[in-house]
Amino acid sequence: MDKGLFITIEGTDGSGKTTQIKLMESFLKGKGCEVVLTREPGGTVISEKIRALILDPAGTEMGSVTEMLLYASARAQLVAEVIKPAVLCGKIVICDRFVDSSYVYQGFGRGMDLKVIADINRVALDGIAPDVTFFFDVSPEIALKRRTAATGTDRIENEKMDFHMRVYAGYKKLVLMYPERIKAIDGSRSVEEVFKQVAGHLELLVE
Ligand code: TYD
């Protein structure tokens, strides 16, 4: 059986990823593709438990190394239990965030060494890499307005604005570093206009 496709979705908090992921799922299903939707951190029973630990607003004393290792642990379990088996049997996996989030949040955001993050995640990824990544480009200011309109924030969202600015700048750097893989989508437009850009890429991928 042919290998499937591994698509990852990235963007700052409040970039509108969730809405677009649902539209992507119905678009691909409409084309007869088998689609598996998942998210990071989470996507398995164990990874969701790790997620609750990482994002708990009460965990203010959590160190950067602990945080980075917990994200990698949740990822290792998701790769082994969900992503790898699905891609190997020909399905399209759409994952809301993946290792690029660790580069931008723990690396550019927290200042951790990108090489250390890459080394740790090499073990977690077990040879898996996204075929294509959609980056929903929304400035941190617009994203903040969208977030505060929603109820409740987690430990990462509670970070100060300069952290979110570094994360955003980190994404921009990744787009320049991996122009083949990462497709930047202007996420500041209406839902329909944003999806039009995504659909253009999806058409080519599933042709
Ligand atoms: P979530 O509520 O899923 O945010 P969003 O809806 O914006 O994706 O929370 C995930 C948070 O974890 C988000 O703030 C980004 C952060 N994160 C990291 O810092 N490193 C990582 O490796 C991953 C996967 C997420």
pLDDT of residue 159: 80
pLDDT, mean of residues 86-97: 97
Q: Would you list the domain boundaries of the chain? A: 5-206
- C-alpha of residue 55 to centroid of ligand 1, in Å: 8
User: d(Cα 69, Cα 123) in Å, to the nearest integer?
Assistant: 11
State the average pLDDT for the chain.
95
Handedness of CA 39, 45, 46, 50 (dihedral sign): positive
- C-alpha of residue 98 to centroid of ligand 1, in Å: 9
Tokens standing for 142? 């617009």
pLDDT band at 77 (very low <50, low <70, confident <90, very high): very high
pLDDT of residue 145: 83
- C-alpha of residue 39 to centroid of ligand 1, in Å: 9
Rounded to two decimals, the pTM is 0.95
- Which atom of ligand 1 is nearest to 154's Cα? 2
Each residue's pLDDT tens digit, 175-184:
999 999 999 9
- Which atom of ligand 1 is nearest to 157's Cα? 14
Q: 5-206 is classed in which CATH architecture?
A: 3-Layer(aba) Sandwich (3.40)
User: d(Cα 86, Cα 34) in Å, to the nearest integer?
Assistant: 9
Bridge-based pairing of strands 35-39 and 5-11 is unpaired
pLDDT band at 199 (very low <50, low <70, confident <90, very high): very high
